[in-house]
Amino acid sequence: MVQFITYADLDAQGRAALLQRSETDLSGFYDRVRPIIEAVRTEGDAALLRFAAEIDGSNVTTLRATEAEFDQAFATLDPALTATITQALTHIRSFHEDQRPGPMTLKEIAPGAWAGDRFTPIRSVALYVPRGKGSFPSVTMMTSVPAVLAGVPDIAIFTPPTPDGGVDAATLVAARLAGVQTVYKAGGAQAVAAAAFGTQTITKALKIVGPGSPFVVAAKRLLSDRIDTGLPAGPSECIIFNDGSLPGRLAALDLLIEAEHGPDSSAWLVTPSPRTADEALAALPALIAALPEPRRGFVTQVLSSRGGVLLMPDLASAYDFINAYAPEHLEILSDSPFDHLGPITEAAEILLGAHTPVTLANFCLGPNNVLPTSGGARTHGPLSVSDFLKRTSVGHVTAKGWTVLAPMAQALADYEGFPAHAGAIRNR
């Protein structure tokens, strides 16, 4: 049921295959997504209502969650869970508040010449909160908090509807406690299209962020010329790295965290220790058997295809594999976890030590759980306040600064063959 692979036995093709994720090749999804996008573009609300019934199996009558639905969510949600969401929001806000820049910075580049940056919020953003394989108020919190802190004036959550045509209660509570007023009942590729084009009910957004299935990822790629799709956040993935100093059973426990998200996830235990690999393999069958369906099935499929236990010949090769994979989540299970930080540079999130499982980071530690996947960590970081801000360059030159900069600008304009550029200096 669980793949066990000895890395040294693989050829170059086999090693490259280990790096594949479910969204590596989306060719099979594009043809299925295109007609959905076109229907939303041309039909608007009618298409969304039809897809809610056909795809989500939901009897949606209103696309926007009503105040009555928010009130009902607060009234019916377990008060203990509401308190947990409130406390988690406190941690998430505390972490993200330090990411806010000042409204403008100016530096004197030369005497009398000032340059800097001005930060203003993006006018409208869509926050995608998946629900296909469960409910995710945690994603609601993680996307909402930085958007609200950035000061985005028009924030809307898009999430698939429940079978009765409503919205998951915890998602509504988390949205309202985070400061978001608008929640739309739309998911999948149709939600991305609605955010990109707008409909009779839904206001067009400038940007959409949040994780999603390969259908969502495919829609984002197809619509990237119509809406900013942010960092690449697809199905969940993790590497659990155990250097051999902590029990293999602990690694096995944490390997299941991301694997239970769905059959399109990826999850690897990477270790140079044969003992750790053996301990993990011995523990996994019982741990998997104890899971309820459908999670047991998800884990079984992931660990037999895009995951399992990977025995490395040494620490150096483990570091190289982790950097090549560039995982969304990386746990370093070690009694000296900070010793491994130097060689590891390509990961969206690094969690250190026996008491920092992905679970804590996903829900309540504070760092964002919307992270780049499929190798996106090589060029992207976690979702942050900066993802909801735009930066504008600002310059101001006085008469004193002019005497320093003008001759330089004129000389470069003349060399590059721009007479109007040079004339604006020479003839001023």
Establish how many alpha carbons lie within 13 A of residue 106's alpha carbon, considering only the half-sphere containing its beta carbon: 10
Task: Name the catalytic one among 96, 258, 260, 329.
Answer: 329
Q: Please, is 342 exposed, middle or buried when counting C-beta atoms within 10 Å of its C-beta (0-12, 13-18, 19+)?
A: exposed
Task: Name the catalytic one among 23, 258, 260, 328.
Answer: 328
- E strands, 294-366, where? 307-311, 329-333, 350-352
Strand 329-333 relative to strand 237-242: parallel, antiparallel, unpaired?
A: parallel
The DSSP result for 65-113, as a single string, is --HHHHHHHHHHS-HHHHHHHHHHHHHHHHHHHTTPPPSEEEEEEETTE
Q: Please, is 324 exposed, middle or buried when counting C-beta atoms within 10 Å of its C-beta (0-12, 13-18, 19+)?
A: middle
Residue found under tokens 């746990």: 331
CA pseudo-torsion sign 120, 154, 206, 364:
positive
Residue 61 DSSP code: S
Residue found under tokens 């769905």: 262
Residue 177 DSSP code: H
Strand order from edge to edge, sheet including 329-333: 4-6, 307-311, 266-271, 237-242, 329-333, 350-352
Measure CA 220 to chain center.
Answer: 13
Residue 345 CB neighbour total at 10 angstroms: 13
**288, 290, 229, 298: which is closest to 260 by C-alpha?**
298
329 is catalytic: yes
| Separation CA 389–CA 367 (nearest Å) | 18
Residue found under tokens 């490395």: 312
Phi/psi-derived region of residue 179, left when phi > 0, alpha when psi is between -120 and 50, beta in every other case: left
Asked if 351 and 361 touch (Cβ cutoff 8 Å), the reply is: yes
328 is catalytic: yes
- E strands, 180-255, where? 182-185, 207-209, 237-242
Q: Please, is 208 exposed, middle or buried when counting C-beta atoms within 10 Å of its C-beta (0-12, 13-18, 19+)?
A: buried
Residues marked active site are found at: 328-329
